[in-house]
Structure 1
Amino acid sequence: MKKFIVALSLLVGLQQAAQAQISVNINIGAQPVWGPVGYDYVDYYYMPDLGAYYYVPRREWTYFDRGRWITTTIVPPRFQNYDLYRVHKVVINEPRPWLKDQFYRQKYVSWKGKYDQVAIRDSRDSKYYVVKGHPNYGRGNDKPGRGYDHPGRGNGRDKDHGNGHGKGHGNGHDKGHGKGH
């Protein structure tokens, strides 16, 4: 009986470890088009030039103003002159990073004024074509509604010419939004 319990415990432990390994978070499609490439999952961007945090899942800005932390879904007026495609973004995947603001300010002060990241908008990697606002949004994948011969959503074929060069919006009418396979 002891051997059975030990074997069962070992089996359950191995199953949990396997599940933990295959449970991968991905939120590429939720990331803003001005975010940096190279991250499959992001909770927050910290921008040393702005001293602000951007929460990707809710599209919220958190910044310090007049002695308190403010959270808003609109770009704060004092950041509107910054080019979000250029300022350096540091990925932080922990809750409420502004509570450790002094730590992050000190750790990433050297990133102020650095403009060395490629923005998602400028990437030609098809995994970023799911990001709304990307120049190739909706192309390069075979998900339903993205223009690849999906019934009722446009099939990439021009019904007048049958040449497979659709240019529409994949709305189920005459032209698809894909490559017209």
Structure 2
Amino acid sequence: MKTPKLLFTLLMAFAFYASADAQVSVNVSVGTPPAWAPATPAGVEYYYLPDIDSYYDIRTTEYIYVTNGRWIRSRSLPVAYRTYHPTPARTIIINDYHGRSPYVKYKVHKVKYKGPKKVVVKEGGGHGNGNGKGHGKGHGKH
């Protein structure tokens, strides 16, 4: 009779140990910033790309931009921005928002981070005349 009790006790001890070990080793996977972006403090979820009035979600590795008046998430930028290459100098770390919709603060970010634009895109994807206007379809009203 002692063997079943001993076996039961050993199994319970092993189960408890395995459970405790599993709780300690739980890890949350967080996205890694892309090679073109500046390093971020822990907890940062988004970059704002003021040259193209868009965001980049570090966790999901998606761009967030406006098309036809709607914010779209995509792994790549639209054709109108095919010549755009982000640079750390114009990639803004967003510290003031956590959630799924950073564009709720778009008007604040647009004013706060306005400056000389390096990318000027006209409808159809061609280069503009350098006046900073004409960011392609859907970038008029926000």
TM-score, normalised to structure 2's length?
Answer: 0.53
**Is the CA contact 2:64–2:71 (under 8 Å) kept in the aligned structure 1?**
yes
Q: Does the CA-based 8 Å contact 1:88-1:111 persist in structure 2?
A: no
Aligned to 1:66: 68
Residues 48 and 111 in structure 1, CA contact (< 8 A), matched pair in contact too: no
8 Å CA contact 1:63, 1:71 repeated in 2: yes
Letter of the structure 1 residue corresponding to residue 41 of structure 2: D
RMSD over aligned Cα, in angstroms? 2.5
Contact 2:37-2:88 at 8 Å conserved across structures: no
- Displacement of 1:78 in angstroms is 2.0
Count of residue correspondences: 87
CA distance in 2, matches of 1:108, 1:102: 10
Alignment of 1:107 onto 2:109: no
Q: Percent identity?
A: 31
Structure 1 residues 50 and 85, CA, compared in 2 at 3 Å: closer, same or farther?
same
After TM superposition, the structure 1 stretch with the greater mean CA deviation from structure 2, 76-85 or 42-51, is 76-85
* Within-5 A mapping of 1:67-146: 67-85=69-87, 88-93=90-95, 94=97, 95=99, 96-110=101-115, 112-113=117-118
What SS does the corresponding residue of 1:75 show, helix, strand or coil?
A: coil
Q: Give the C-alpha shift of residue 104 in structure 1.
A: 0.8
Contact 1:45 1:53 in 2 (8 A): yes
Q: Is the 8 A contact 2:55 2:63 kept in 1?
A: yes
Computing the radius of gyration from Cα coordinates, the structure with the larger value is: 2
Equivalent residues of 2:47, 2:55 under 8 A apart: yes
Shift of 1:75: 2.6
C-alpha deviation, 1:90, in angstroms:
0.8
* Shift in alpha-carbon separation, 1:58–1:26, aligned structure 2, 3 A: closer
- After TM superposition, the score normalised by the length of structure 1 is 0.42
CA–CA distance in structure 2, aligned partners of residues 88 and 52 of structure 1: 12
